[in-house]
Amino acid sequence: MNRLVWLCIGRTGACMGTMAFVGALPVLRHTWHMSAGTAGTIQTAFNLSNAIALLAAAWLSDSFGAKRVYLWCTWAGTIALACFALFARSPETALVLIIFVGLTQGGSYAPALMLAADLSLPSKRGRAMGMMLAAGSFGYLLSVFFSLWATQTFGVAAGFGVCAVGVFAGTAIGQLSLAGMQPAKHTKHDSGKANAPAFRWRSTFTPVAVCLLIGYIAHCWELLGHYAWTPSLLATALEPLHLNAVTMALIVGAVVHLSGMLATTAIGTLSDRLDRSKVLVFVGGAGAACSLLMGWSIHWGPAWTVVIASIGSFFILGDSGVLSAAMTDEVPPASLGRVMGVRSVLGFGSGALAPAAFGAAFDATHQWASAYATLAAGGVAACAAAVFLSQLTARSALRERALGSNHLR
């Protein structure tokens, strides 16, 4: 297997801490006598520390290299999760320790995508980004299952300890896969732009980059709202079946994360063969439609909810790798880390508000359909940004053909 495949395998293990708290939450709420508000506060602390780490790590990657920053964060992630397993014994201690887990888990995200870009040809970056994101999604699935199973069977420490072992194994595999790797030498031919000696906002955030940025922000709004509330939708739909917690965790994990894992690879590969902007238009529109249908599916029975949520997960996460690949195509390599950092903070920052907007809509109407319409708005915005991107791409192609004709004359 090549270096990229081994790194993706390592990335799966390294992501086993990201959803550990969410997976163990059904047990933790009972064991620690937590209210929903307290549990939400702990998860919010994780999300905020995650967003801070996204910006810092991406920015540092331009100075120290993506490989070095990725390994720093993943090794620190092993330590942070082990400390959580050993010392988190109450909501108060968990609130403090979850911040360190968030800082390390978030810090590895952007460097991982940059490494995927370095390890692939420009013509295959959609597939490479999709593989890296799929590896992370599989890690999320494993963290949900193992944290719930081990916490329920052996206790809180065991639940997070098992995930810490997974992070350690993934980090070790990542270290081995990157051994001897030299920083990629980017050229004008590689990215369409020569390395820039300084970061300039106006020249870096071109109209194409701005469209991609808006599309990513809208994508994060829909995705993070989906991650937060679709498990509750599924639990409500499946409640009449009286499933046990482990079975429920498997179904939720498969619907939300396994479907998305398949999507990033498949749609990323498709974008390498077709125009990326056209793929983004289709996926954004499909994601918005599925968000609306998920809200209505609660009235159609458990099977319909599971099927529609699975299809929705496929399209809602599916454009993530395409947006990342398109951004690496557009932005000069010397500025990529900082752009990815800004993108992550804006995307995850706005996305952090989506669950609250969803909840407010649900409280006001008591209708899943109305609440999911707030998420569909993100899909519509992503689709609109992709339409503008497609127009910009078409105009640029026309100009290039015109210049080529004039040159031949």
pLDDT digits (tens, 9 = 90+) for 32-61: 887 766 776 787 788 778 878 887 887 788
pLDDT averaged over every residue in the chain: 81
Q: What is the structure's pLDDT at 75?
A: 94
Domain 201-409: CATH class, spelled out: mainly alpha
Of residues 119 and 72, the one with the higher pLDDT is 72
Mean pLDDT of 143-152: 82
Output the pTM of the full model: 0.73
| Nearest in space to 391 (alpha carbons), one of 211, 217, 202, 215 | 211
Tell me which of 85-89, 120-124, 215-219, 298-302 is least confident: 120-124
Mean pLDDT of 134-148: 84
- The domain over range 1-181 is classified in CATH as 1.20.1260.10: no
Q: Phi and psi of 272, rounded to 5°?
A: -70, -25
Tell me which of 43-57, 133-147, 223-237, 332-346 is least confident: 332-346
Q: What is the structure's pLDDT at 400?
A: 58
Top mean-pLDDT range of 60-64, 174-178, 405-409: 174-178
- In this predicted structure, the answer to whether residue 202 has a pLDDT above a threshold of 70 is no
In the chain, where does the domain assigned CATH 1.20.1250.20 lie? 1-181, 201-409
Q: What is the structure's pLDDT at 172?
A: 93
- In this predicted structure, the answer to whether residue 193 has a pLDDT above a threshold of 60 is no
- In this predicted structure, the answer to whether residue 1 has a pLDDT above a threshold of 60 is no
